[in-house]
Chain A
């Protein structure tokens, strides 16, 4: 017997940790991973709600989130590679000028 609220609390905790990681990490790739962590936390909430109301729509949303995350990862990592080629660093604090 697992109440829905347990899943939601876990989802909130994971999302919070994702936010913390997003704020305090300095490596672009790790920051990117923090975003993925937040997306995952949201997915958990979606699936939990889908189960609570026995509706499949929540699962469809998770499906879309995963697809969009995949597209985002492809573009994002391409950007990371470009930054690495141009600036020779992955530290976001060093990538602070608009023009190089």
Chain B
């Protein structure tokens, strides 16, 4: 087994375990932490794919800002334990097997199709990294309009959050 493959499987395992913990844990803050675990594992996978900038942004924005916001809100609201859901019988006996079957089918299809045979990481563990300079050039030429549109979106989001969170007194 080559080194990239080992790294991939470790990170994939961490990500899946994190996602399962998100579902299983009762305390919202534990769910938040397991989601952060997933995000870190994904950041390592991005590095493995040679997307350095995206890996750093993933940690800075997702783990460092968005999830901090979540943790902050959980702390402020002092959100306690969650009530258990009563699983409906259909979900248990039809939903889970069907979902599992769908997943397996999809995996089979992907492995079979032409795209599945494309190799992401060449041997030796070195992937030529995507150039951050090229990425920024693309962002400011081809995708200039969406880029500016997101800035307006963020502005609106700030205003919306302010209006919502402001107490009426």
A and B touch in the complex (CB under 8 A): yes
Give me the interface of A with B, judged by CB distance under 8 Å: 1-10, 12-14, 16-18, 20-21, 23-27, 29-30, 32-34, 36-37, 40, 43-44, 47-48, 50-52, 56-57, 59-60, 62-64, 66-75, 77-82, 84-85, 90-91
Considering the chains assembled together, what is the distance between the CA atoms of A1 and B152 in angstroms? 42
Q: Among residues 93 to 115 in chain B, which have CB atoms less than 8 Å away from a CB atom of chain A? A: 99, 103, 106-107, 110-111, 113, 115
CB atoms of B70 and A4 under 8 A apart: no
CB atoms of A32 and B157 under 8 A apart: no
CB atoms of B85 and A74 under 8 A apart: no
Known A51-B50, A74-B69, A77-B70; contact A91-B83, beta-carbon cutoff 8 A: yes
CB atoms of A27 and B28 under 8 A apart: yes
In the bound complex, residues from chain A placing their C-beta under 8 Å from that of B8 are 2, 6-7
In the bound complex, residues from chain B placing their C-beta under 8 Å from that of A40 are 38-39, 42, 62
Known A51-B51, A78-B164; contact A2-B4, beta-carbon cutoff 8 A: yes
Q: Which residue of A lies closest to B25 (CB)?
A: A30
5 A-B pairs with C-beta separation under 8 A: A5-B117, A47-B49, A47-B54, A74-B160, A77-B70
Considering the chains assembled together, what is the distance between the CA atoms of A27 and B146 in angstroms? 33
Q: Which residue of A lies closest to B62 (CB)?
A: A66
A7, chain B: closest CB distance, angstroms:
6
CB atoms of B66 and A16 under 8 A apart: no
Q: Among residues 57 to 86 in chain B, which have CB atoms less than 8 Å away from a CB atom of chain A? A: 57-58, 61-62, 65-67, 69-70, 73-74, 76-77, 79, 82-83, 85
